[in-house]
Structure formats: C-alpha cells, structure tokens
Structure 1
Amino acid sequence: MKKLLLLVATLTFTLGMSAIVMADTPSNIDYKNMHIVWSDEFNGNALNQDYWEYQTGDGSQYGIPGWGNNEKQWYRAQNVTVGDGMLSITAKNENIAGKKYTSGRIRTWDGDNNKAKVSVGLGYVEARMKIPSAQGIWPAFWMLGNNGKTWPACGEIDIEESFNIASYAQGTIHFPSPTGADVYKYSQTNPEGYDKTGWNTYGVYRNGEELSFYLNGKEYGYFKTTDVGDGDRSVLNDDYHILLNFAVGGNLAGGEPPSGTLPLTMNVDYVRYYQDGAPAPTVKPTVKPTTVSKPAKAKIKSLKYKKKRKLIVKLKKIKGVAGYQVRWCDSKSFDGYEQKNTKKVKLTIKGLDKNTKYWVKARAYKKVNGAKLYGKWSAKKSKKVKK
C-alpha cells in the first residue's frame, strides 16, 4: 500500500479552527483541493504513542462501566498491533477480570494531562478500513469533543459504526438537548457493490455550518451544525479527538457472539486529517485561469405525488448546464437527506415512506476541469406521500 510522508512532527498536535468556512459541504471529496495536516499511516511495528493512547479495562476506571453501552469486553493494549502497514484491533475469547472477551481501544487523547495529543478542527477526517461482519460485534471509528464538558455536552461524531451483520455504513451525530439530554441523528447508506469486509474509506467533513458523512469519497449524510431548535448543535463545530475501538456485545451489537465467532480483526490502513486548499505550488502557474460563471438559480416547476410511493419532480431547463442535483428529505431542514444527480429536467423519486411529507430542492451544475460548479438552490417544495 502506498504510504504518505508525515507532514507534521511535533509531540502534541493542535490542528484546530483554521480551515476556511465553505458555503456548502461537497458531494464528492476532491483530494486535489485539500492538503493533509496530520496523518498516521501505521508504518513500523508499534503504535505511535505520540499520537495515540490505549484505553484499557471495562470503563469503570473512567466512570462508565461497560463503556456506557453495556459492552462485554475487557480492553487491553495487547489486542492492538501495528504491522504490514496497518493497524489491527482484534477481539478474542479470553477470560479476564470477569469478562469473557478482550479487545482494543485507542484515542488521540492524553488522559494524564487531560488534553488532546491530536486535535482536529474543521475540515475532513478519513480512515481506510476493513471491518468484520458477525453477530455480537461493534467496531467503530469516531470522535469526541475537546471542550472539557461531560457527554453529551462535549459532542460526539460517529464516522462509522458497524453493528453485527448489518450491511450498511452509518454515521451519527450526538449533541445536548436544551435540558442536557442526548440528541442523536444518523444517516445510513448501502450502495450497490459495497462490502464492509473489504477496504473502504469512511469520512466526515465539517465547515462550521454543516456536517456531511462520506463512504468512499461520496456524500451520503448531511446535517446542519447551526441552531435548528433541537439542542446545542454548535458543539459539532468544536475541536475533537479521534477514537478507534472494537466492542464485543453492547446495546447495538445484537447480543453476544455465537460460539466460535472470535477471534475477529478490524484493520485500518490510515487515518488522515485534511483541510481545504491545495499546498502552495513551487512554480508560479503561467496559464491564466479561465473564469466560468455559476449556473442560474434552479426552479422546481412542479412536484407531484404518484402511486407506489413516488414523487415526480419537474425542473425549469437552464441553458448551458451539465445537469441538476435534486435533494429530498422528510425534514424541512434536510437533516439526513438523500440526493441524485440527473441530466434531465424530470426525475422520479422512488421508495419513499408512506404517509410522510417530503421537502425537495434542486440546483444546477456545470463541469469545469472535471469538477462540478453549482448554482444556488431552488426554493423548497413539499408534498405528502400517501399509500
């Protein structure tokens, strides 16, 4: 596997709020327009403890027995290994301290000094992973906030949670309600050809106003990180630290693994943190850049319900565009939306939930040097799906 040189080499990394705030999260990750601020490529034969800290035990020493999720394993440093260019966390059948299973958990946090070893702010965080599939397991790649508050006031971003034999990818956000209780929202995707037991990339992009989840560089989940009245979403814009763990059992694992299931291993090729903007070129460009105007604002001419839980969207044709992007959601704020690009001005949205009201909006795009240049969103239209 091709590995990158580490770009930052200090003991403690504070890579916080310096990213430029974007107007919208991208539909597809464009690595050419970002640069790596920090990464661990897991070269060598040992975990880099300048970046990572082991968390061991059953959570009791952190005040959260069962790690707050009724997990059944005892975490040990021995279950976390580095070799062959990857990190491996292995869950095993081993009896320790009254637990029937052992596994591993690491984080980019310094517990002794109560500060982050690696702190990530706005931008894009991604890991390339292979995840096992079996009843009773719960591997995860996620982040917790660094604001010093207790959960859920610190905020939590679950970039990929893989429950038991579930075939989909899932990203989840947690933030405090006005009363301090946990509010969580999630998005799932299971595109054709996706197999979590093979190599895939999982990522999250934050720009200070929005947050999107990505599978193999393609956006599948979107949430606002500004106030929509359901709690303090602003914590989702704070600096965070990264966690990787492989739980056995727990509230979402579907019970414990059947006999003979373990050992199983979660592999991680790399973890990378990007910010927007390509690295400064060493040679000044000699070609004058071409200026291309954005497409005109899109307009939805009609939105109609059709039998068998379908909606028909008709758009006003815009001259000189390559296509249109249509988004729909059962939330007016478009939390957890779905979307589709089309070259036509008519789109049929299928597989909707019955007796549910949906909001739809659209925007046009041009293609410039292989990238999409989007116009403004249309006004929202809504329609209820019946039987």
Structure 2
Amino acid sequence: MRTLLISLAFAAVAPVALAQEMPGHSLVWADEFDRDGAPDPAKWSFDTHANKTGWYNEERQYYSADRGENARVEDGHLIIEARKERLEHAADFGGQDYTSARMVSREGWTYGVIEVRAKLPCGGGTWPAIWMLPTALTDWPLDGEIDIMEHVGNRPGVVLGTVHTGAYNHVAGTQRGGEVTVADACDAFHVYQANWTETGIGFAIDGREFYRFDNDGGGDKATWPFDQPFELILNIAVGGGLGGAVDDAAFPQRMEIDWVRVWRKD
C-alpha cells in the first residue's frame, strides 16, 4: 500500500456531490454505527489470517477479532484503536507488541461511489487505511487494489489515494496515485471517497477530487482489473514500510468513523 505520484493542494479543486443524497445514485449499502457495542456482524468480519505468519510490508501489529479494545461502536462512531500492549502479554498477540483491528465488509460491489466519514490518528507509526480488495482475490497485485485513503502518522495531514495493478504497483515502484494535505485530518471528520466507474476511479475528500486513475480501454487486466466485485477494508496498521518509526508514547491511537455509504449509479 505505498503511494505518491501526483501532489495537489486540497483547496485547488472544486467540490462534487456527496453525503445524504446523491442525485442519479441509489444507496445500496451503509452502516451508520447507531448501535453501541460490537460492530454489526451481519455487515463486518475481522481479518486475522496473517497473524501467525506476520503481516505484509513489515507491519508490527496483531489484528484481533471481536475484541472491544480494538474495535467497537461508541456514541454513533466506529472506533478502530491501535494499542501498545504490555510486554508480558505479547505472547497473547502472536509475539507482537501492538494490537489493532482490520474489518472487512461482508458485501462487495462492482462500480459505485464509496464514502467513509472519518477522523484519523496522527501518532508516529500509525498507518490507517480505507481501501478495497477483490472479494475473490487470488493473485495480488494482478487482481487489483484501491486505496481510498492512507495516512502516515509521521506525516500528519498528508492523505494518499492509490491504485495497484499488475502493471502499476509499489513492489515495482510503478503505483499510480496522488496525495493531498488536509491540515485537520486528525482533529476533524472528513469524507473520503472513491467514485468508481467503468471509465476510471476518482479519489476525493469532502467531494473534492484530487486524483483520477483512468481506464486505458485496452482490455488488459494488468492495467485495469477493476471490473469485478471489491470489498471494503478499514484498519490501522502499525509501523511497516509506510508507517515507519513507531512512537510508543503516542499510543493508544484511534480512527473514528461516523458512517460508511455505498452508492450505485441509477
């Protein structure tokens, strides 16, 4: 999940429609997080599959499942919290010093507008992400990845939007993406958005598009694998190739999510 090819000032682009109603679109899936306690199991699962083998990109967290300390709904917000655990408890978390949660939607979609209203963590080493992978992922990066939002706590306020494909990915250093600075990303809620159609994917914040990846129309999966269902992932990673140096004194750190909405064009 590394990124950075195009950089823009946040105020430089004009807003487009978002939020409660979207003309020409129907709401097909949403979570308003209006019930305190555990996240709705009918809508979300927890991804823990790499805990025993180690997470990708040299990340340092253990992803828990159904652990309220790491994922819960409070006062109308989903809280995903990354925590520094006590040393004597490390064996309980795969030998890792940090715990977090990685939540995956139980539904997937092909095309649509995906919106997540969130406030981000800013502690050193935090790496929150709002992103998408194919529901039938078998071969990364050939099957594709859509990173709607990534933020690096060691670069407060810098938000990244990226795609990865067989031809364009961070392993080869060819990923396609952009970045924008949102000065209050860690203090205020913003809407992180992907407008995904047959012709391209637009990345936006509060309705202002800051990067667009166009379908080249060549019919080659290596450059456009985005014609299949993708599921939504919400997580905070710790450290790793993008997260960088970890500041233990900054933990716990949380990403607060007000709502998630998925729209389909009529």
TM-score by length of 2: 0.81
Equivalent of 1:149, from 115, 132, 138? 138
Which residue in 2 is equivalent to 1:100?
A: 97
> Within 5 Å, which residues of 2 pair with 1:92-241?
92-94=83-85, 95=90, 96-108=93-105, 117-166=106-155, 167-177=157-167, 183-190=174-181, 194-227=184-217, 232-241=222-231
Matched, 1:74 2:62: yes
User: Residue type matched to 2:146 in 1?
Assistant: I
Cα distance in 1 between the residues matched to 2:137 and 2:145: 13
User: Is the 1:47–1:81 Cα contact (8 Å) retained in structure 2?
Assistant: yes
Cα distance in 1 between the residues matched to 2:30 and 2:114: 10
User: Residue type matched to 2:64 in 1?
Assistant: R
User: Is the 2:104–2:232 Cα contact (8 Å) retained in structure 1?
Assistant: yes
Cα distance in 2 between the residues matched to 1:196 and 1:229: 40
Equivalent of 1:265, from 208, 229, 254? 254
Q: CA-atom RMSD, angstroms?
A: 2.3
Cα distance in 2 between the residues matched to 1:226 and 1:260: 46
% identical equivalent positions: 30
Structure 1 stretches of 4+ with a deviation exceeding 6 A read: 228-231
Cα distance in 2 between the residues matched to 1:142 and 1:66: 20
**SS of aligned partner of 1:260:** helix
**SS of aligned partner of 2:78:** strand
**SS of aligned partner of 2:54:** helix
TM-score by length of 1: 0.57
Q: Which runs of no fewer than 5 residues in structure 1 stay unpaired?
A: 1-25, 109-116, 278-387
Cα distance in 2 between the residues matched to 1:238 and 1:196: 33
Which residue in 1 is equivalent to 2:237?
A: 247
Which residue in 2 is equivalent to 1:49?
A: 41
Name the larger-Rg structure: 1
Deviation (angstroms), 1:233: 2.4
Residues 278-325 of structure 1, C-alpha deviation per residue, up to 9 Å, x if partnerless? xxxxxxxxxxxxxxxxxxxxxxxxxxxxxxxxxxxxxxxxxxxxxxxx
Deviation (angstroms), 1:121: 1.4
**SS of aligned partner of 1:241:** strand
User: Residue type matched to 2:204 in 1?
Assistant: Y
Deviation (angstroms), 1:138: 0.3
> Within 5 Å, which residues of 2 pair with 1:282-361?
none
Shift in CA distance, 210/259, structure 1 to aligned 2, threshold 3 Å:
closer
Q: Which runs of no fewer than 5 residues in structure 2 stay unpaired?
A: 1-13
User: Structure with the greater relative contact order (CA < 8 A, sep ≥ 6): 1 or 2?
Assistant: 2
User: Residue type matched to 1:52 in 2?
Assistant: W
Deviation (angstroms), 1:143: 0.2
Which residue in 1 is equivalent to 2:7?
A: none
Shift in CA distance, 147/235, structure 1 to aligned 2, threshold 3 Å:
farther
User: Is the 2:51–2:94 Cα contact (8 Å) retained in structure 1?
Assistant: no
User: Residue type matched to 1:53 in 2?
Assistant: S
Cα distance in 2 between the residues matched to 1:86 and 1:104: 15
Deviation (angstroms), 1:229: 10
Deviation (angstroms), 1:234: 2.3
* More moved, 90-99 vs 229-238: 229-238
**SS of aligned partner of 2:165:** strand
